[in-house]
């Protein structure tokens, strides 16, 4: 992998990740951009104990542009985009309309390929390996920013999810706090460790799932399963067999096997609802341990946390979506229409040839 860092016309950082060591990335951003002005603010909810990002400048972000005006495609002639060069393998750049900025963190966009019509599942294993390298590198770099406590790499796929740019891309959020979802995991981890005399909850969950009926696929280094209490109609958790706190700690075996396993999962997701169905909308979310000390979670260290990826869709059956209505949105109590055991069975049925 070759990494080349440069700056866009408004001062934002852009980084090329190339498969070839001889790639030259010296194209300048020729757009007449002014400096990006953001109004991001983190407000804490005293009753719920969580946080909300207030970012009014995002109202003006790019919204469903035609393909020939996509800001994530390479620049061609006088059609200038966020990527100055005429081609790229993987690109990461600071979001022009970030939810988090300055002391409130940082938001980045990850372009998986220059091919506007592709999906992540269309990538080669070599390309996926490069994306994994980019996620890992950004996790490392962002973790050293003074304002950052947790790094979240994710992909939203599909208009049903709320994606406003059709180009294959993901995002990275660097939060200045431990997110509420991670805090819940850490509290459960601490309580289980105390109650069992030291047992790790992530290890116990993985051991239980491996012995059960919800495993979707297994590799030498990775295991994918539908969790016992899945929130979403089709939800898969992907764990490395060896517990590690973050992407940086994956060994070479796990890193090498990941592209094959992950591409298989994504391709199965597109087969869930049968032939002729539109691509399955999904969210793919990496869960990594926060950086720094975990003083609020007594008895737990970063090494107790287990890196894992959660992949889920909001489509519950052909032509129907799972909406977060009264119970889910009002009380945070999910109601799942698809039994996790049946979801796992279906995902095994649609194994690619």
Q: Which residue has the tokens 């095994």?
A: 348
> Distance between CA atoms of 241 and 294, rounded to whole angstroms?
24
Catalytically annotated residues: 169
Query: Could you count the other beta carbons within 10 Å of the beta carbon of residue 204?
Result: 12
Q: Which residue has the tokens 């297994």?
A: 218
3-state secondary structure at position 136: helix
Element at 107 (helix H, strand E): strand 106-111
* Residue 149 and residue 177 in contact, taking contact as beta carbons nearer than 8 Å: yes
> Distance between CA atoms of 64 and 167, rounded to whole angstroms?
10
- Nearest alpha-carbon partner for 244 in 300, 298, 198, 202: 202
Task: Provide the residue count of the chain.
Answer: 353
């Amino acid at each position: 992998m070759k990494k080349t860092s440069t700056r866009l016309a408004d001062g934002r950082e852009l980084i090329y990740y190339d498969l070839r060591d001889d790639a030259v990335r010296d194209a300048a951003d020729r757009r007449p951009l002014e400096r990006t002005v953001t109004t991001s603010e983190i407000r804490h909810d005293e009753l719920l104990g969580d946080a909300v990002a207030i970012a009014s400048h995002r109202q003006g972000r790019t919204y469903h542009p035609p393909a020939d005006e996509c800001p994530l495609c390479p620049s061609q002639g006088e059609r200038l985009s966020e990527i100055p060069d005429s081609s790229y393998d993987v690109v990461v750049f600071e979001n022009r309309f970030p939810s988090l900025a300055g002391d409130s963190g940082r938001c980045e966009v990850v372009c998986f390929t220059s091919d506007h019509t592709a999906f992540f599942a269309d990538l080669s294993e070599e390309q996926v390996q490069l994306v994994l390298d980019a996620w890992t590198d950004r996790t490392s770099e962002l973790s050293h920013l003074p304002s950052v406590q947790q790094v979240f790499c994710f992909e939203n796929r599909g208009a049903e999810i709320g994606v406003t740019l059709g180009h294959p891309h993901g995002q990275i959020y660097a939060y200045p706090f431990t997110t509420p979802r991670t805090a819940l995991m850490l509290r459960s981890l601490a309580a289980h460790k105390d109650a069992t005399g030291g047992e790790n909850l992530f290890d116990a969950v993985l051991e239980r799932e491996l012995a059960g009926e919800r495993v979707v696929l297994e590799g030498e280094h990775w295991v994918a399963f539908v969790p016992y209490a899945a929130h979403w109609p089709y939800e898969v958790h992907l764990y490395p067999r060896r517990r590690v706190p973050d992407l940086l700690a994956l060994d070479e075996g796990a890193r090498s096997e990941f592209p094959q396993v992950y591409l298989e999962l994504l391709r199965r997701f597109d087969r869930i609802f049968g032939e002729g169905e539109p691509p399955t909308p999904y969210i793919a979310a990496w869960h990594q341990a926060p950086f720094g000390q975990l003083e609020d979670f007594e008895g737990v260290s970063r090494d107790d946390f287990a890196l894992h990826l959660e992949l889920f869709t909001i489509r519950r059956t052909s032509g129907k979506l799972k909406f977060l209505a009264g119970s889910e949105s009002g009380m945070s109590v999910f109601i799942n229409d698809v039994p996790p055991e049946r979801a796992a069975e279906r995902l095994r049925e649609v194994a690619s040839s």
